[in-house]
Amino acid sequence: MHSQLYLSGRLAINPKLTQTKKGRLWVRLLLETELVRTSGQGFQSETVVLPISLFSREAEAVKDLRSGDVLIGRLSSLRHEIRRAGGSGETRLPDCCRRWS
């Protein structure tokens, strides 16, 4: 089965850049987005903040983002990509088999 999840939102804070024990880039983001669900009176939404960690090539692709930048991401069991919306164009991540959370 092929599962996909699309996320979009704005960065709540600037990315935190660190390194793994093996010296690879590790970027931690907080993505602020809206959770929308149906209720008895129609649609109900609330703001949620999701922590996201990216490593290696994926981390390199997003390391220059800043608070307030729009981020659109696709998670898949087979591949994923991130698109950066706004004045600086798009950022697409290479295909790979790892998931990010």
pLDDT at 7: 86
Average pLDDT of 12-25?
94
- With b meaning 16 or more CB within 10 Å and e meaning fewer, what string describes 5-24? eeeebbbbeebeeeeeeeee
Residues sharing a CB contact under 8 Å with residue 69, sequence separation 6 or more, in sequence order: 10, 11, 84, 85, 86
Give the span between the Cα atoms of 26 and 53, in whole angstroms. Answer: 7
- Superfamily of the domain at 4-85: Nucleic acid-binding proteins (2.40.50.140)
Closest CA to 66 of 48, 46, 86: 86
pLDDT digits (tens, 9 = 90+) for 37-75: 888 889 999 999 999 999 988 899 899 999 999 998 887
Residue 81 has pLDDT above 80, yes or no: no
Q: Cα 93–34–26 angle (5° rounding)?
A: 35
Alpha-helical runs (H) found in 1-101? 56-62
Q: What is the pTM of this model?
A: 0.67
